[in-house]
Every structure is written in structure tokens, then in C-alpha cells.
Amino acid sequence: MISKLPRGLKRQIRIIGCRLVAAWRRYPRNARKLLLNQEETDQLASPFLNWETSITPIPRRGTIEIQKNRVHNLERAISLINNRLILPGQAFSLSQHLGEPTIENGFQSGPVFAGGKVLADAGGGLCLIATNLYSLFLKSGCQILERHNHSIDAYGNERFYELGQDAAIAYAYKDLAIRNNFKTPLLLEIGMIGDTVQSRLSAALQKPVEVIVRSHVLQRIPPAIQDQHPGWHICTTRYARKENACWRQDYVSFSHYMPC
């Protein structure tokens, strides 16, 4: 039924839905106030212990203009989430921090995956941030509230993530959201170093859990045309254990990629 509505109306319905989800998950009303300046971060982080790091290479695909726009969008996104303090029990929503990635909001046109195709739109390239952070939070043991995979495996054997461990973001459609399910504040730091995006999660206490993340192929879907990338059904499972406790499965996700 909703698919037959005008595009503008559908967008408004989705935005209202996102606001309801934000209220239900108790997102901070003013998340920007939880961003520390660099001096505050340096003072806080000096005694902090590293929980997890995530390093994601920046693809060098496309024209020079596309590559420059991708880097610009990454830098813009990093400026909106770097030095974020996530308090115990608090949620972190990537979309809440980034807002709508429009030209008016400081983003530029870059590559996006939509409906199984590679297109160009404002904010293109932000999924690299989502993928980097998903790996960081997943391997730190945080509670994953929302995550979406890409519609296609566009990079094939050149992909910069393990199948089933990527994350897509699209305003009012797809978000990456987590909750700090630990008893200590977590400090998120992220930046660009060379041709990579690097992030770190740290805290005043030692990481209380060990984590193992495994992804395995459930099904390979052959492409309809030779030389295209196949599709995949992937299952990703996280196992965690506290000191002297048994391993237990505490998270599972299923990813479907269409042939392209």
C-alpha cells in the first residue's frame, strides 16, 4: 500500500517513523552535546584502555572528482561523530549525527548503491564510515540495534570488508545504531590516516568480554550474465564470554546481496 503513495509523502512517513524509533530507543535529544573537543578528549583518553580499533581502506575507484567528493564526505562525517562519548545504557545513531546528507548540509555527490545499482547522490561514500563503525562496535561487544547490508557485492574480490560485515546508511531508510550495554562510558574516536579511515573505542575499565565474530556463506547466487558479481546469502554470528564464563551467542545477522 505505502509503495503506491507519492514519493514526497512516503519520505515524510519514513521520517516520522524514524522519529518514533528514536524516541523508543531513547536516543539522546541533543547528541552533539556529547561530542568532546580535542582538549577534553586528550584529557579523558590518556588513562583510557583501548577496547577495539577498526581500519578501513578508502577505495580509489571512479573519476578524480568522485574520489575527491568521497574524501570530502568522509571528512565531513568524521567531523560530526569524532570524540563522541557514549554513556552507559545510551544509544548511538549514525544517522542522528550525520543528519540528511544534502549539498546544503555540506555533503557532495558520490557513489551510492541503490536497488542493486551504482548511482551518484549527495553523501555518497558514507557507507564506508558505517562499515568501519559496525566492525568496531560489533567486535567491542556493544548491543547492535540496527544494521543493514548493501544491496549488492559491488566490489567483488576487491571488497574492503568481509561479506556479512558491511553496513549501509541511507537517510530515513537505513541506519547504524548501537547501545552501550556496559557499565562504563565509551569514547569513540575516528579520523582519516593516509588512505584509511581508522576508529577506536576505549574506556576507563578493561574490556569485560572476549568476542569472536564469524561470517559464513549460506548460499552463492550465480550471476545472470558472465563477468558479473554473484549474489550471496551470508550469516554473521557473534559469540561473547565474560571472564571464566562459557561462550554464548549474543548476536546474529543475515545479509542478502543481489547479483550485479
Q: What is the pLDDT along the chain (260 residues), one digit of tens a residue?
A: 556 777 778 888 888 999 999 999 999 988 888 999 999 999 988 899 999 999 999 988 878 888 899 999 999 999 999 999 999 999 999 999 999 999 999 999 877 776 666 667 777 889 999 999 999 999 999 999 999 999 999 888 889 899 999 999 999 999 999 999 999 999 999 999 999 999 999 999 999 999 999 999 999 999 988 888 999 999 999 999 998 899 999 999 999 999 98
Which residue, chain included where needed, has cell 584509511?
A: 196
- Please give the Cα distance from 163 to 80 (Å, whole number): 27
Provide the pLDDT for residue 107: 93
Phi–psi pair at 105, nearest 5 degrees:
-95, 15
Provide DSSP, the chain: -GGGS-HHHHHHHHHHHHHHHHHHHT--TTGGGGBPPHHHHHHHHTTPEEEEEEEEEPP--S-HHHHHHHHHHHHHHHHHHTTEEE-TT-EEEHHHHH----TTTT--EEEEEETTEEEEEETTTTHHHHHHHHHHHHHHTPEEEE----SB-TTGGG-SS-TT-----BTTTB--EEE--SSS-EEEEEEEETTEEEEEEEESSPP-EEEEEEEEEEEEE--SSTTSPPEEEEEEEEEEEETT---EEEEEEEEEEB--
Domain that holds residue 30: 2-257
- Structural domains of the chain, count: 1
Q: Is the pTM of this model over 0.85?
A: yes
Whole-number Cα distances in Å, 119 to 64, 112, 114, 115: 16, 5, 7, 9
- How close are the terminal C-alpha atoms of the chain, in Å? 28
Provide the pLDDT for residue 259: 93
- Please give the Cα distance from 88 to 9 (Å, whole number): 37
CB 44 within 8 A of CB 36: yes
Planar angle of CA 35, 126, 251, nearest 5 degrees: 80
Nearest CA among 255, 247, 257, 210 for reference residue 51? 210
C-alpha cell at 221: 547466487
